[in-house]
Structure 1
Amino acid sequence: MGNVAIIVKIMPESPDVDLEALKSAVKAAVPVNDIREEPIGFGLVALKAAVVVPDKAGAPDEVEAALRNLKDVGSAEIIESTLV
């Protein structure tokens, strides 16, 4: 069994969310390989997190759910996945 690399787009609830605190919360919740900021507009900045998980049923969904449940997260969506 291999691994899957996923990119998750994390949208804060508002432009007022402390992105550094949110990044720390994301890193504490899931095994993040890389995290970057993506300006959206009107002061809102999304985070894109790269996470590698085992290639098993439900693993990417567990990461997505864990990120959705974080404080100050409006949404978390897997936007890309690939086998590694």
Structure 2
Amino acid sequence: MGDVAVIIKVMPESPEVDLAALEALIREKLPGTQDVVVEPIGFGLSSLKLAIVVPDGEGTTEEAEETLRTLEGVESAEIISVTLT
């Protein structure tokens, strides 16, 4: 087994959420986070698009997604793509 690269879109609860603080929290909770990009949505709201690397195994991508959903300030987290590295 190897690793998989996962792209996850994280939506904050509101435009008032501090995205820099949220990114720091994400990097703390998911140490495999490789890259974070702020993606403007509209009306002052932006999402974070994460690239993380996790071990290839049953449930590992879902665990990362669930961890993100439990963070304060996160409205939703959705896996956009998964690929073997």
Q: Please classify the TM superposition score into its range, dividing by the shorter chain length.
A: over 0.9
Cα distance in 2 for partners of 1:68, 1:28 equals 14
Within 5 A, what are the aligned runs for 1:1-84? 1-31=1-31, 32-84=33-85
The Cα shift of 1:53 comes to 0.5
Cα distance in 1 for partners of 2:45, 2:38 equals 10
**AA paired with 2:15?**
P
- How does the TM-score come out when normalised to structure 1? 0.98
Structure 1 counterpart SS, 2:72: coil
Runs of 4+ in 1 over 6 A off after TM superposition: none
Q: Where in structure 1 are there 5+ consecutive unaligned residues?
A: none
**AA paired with 1:38?**
E
Cα distance in 1 for partners of 2:9, 2:24 equals 15
* Root mean square deviation, CA, Å: 0.5
Give the paired residue count. 84
Cα distance in 1 for partners of 2:70, 2:26 equals 10
Deviations 1:8-59 (A, max 9, x none): 1000000010111100111011021111100001110000111101110000
- How does the TM-score come out when normalised to structure 2? 0.97
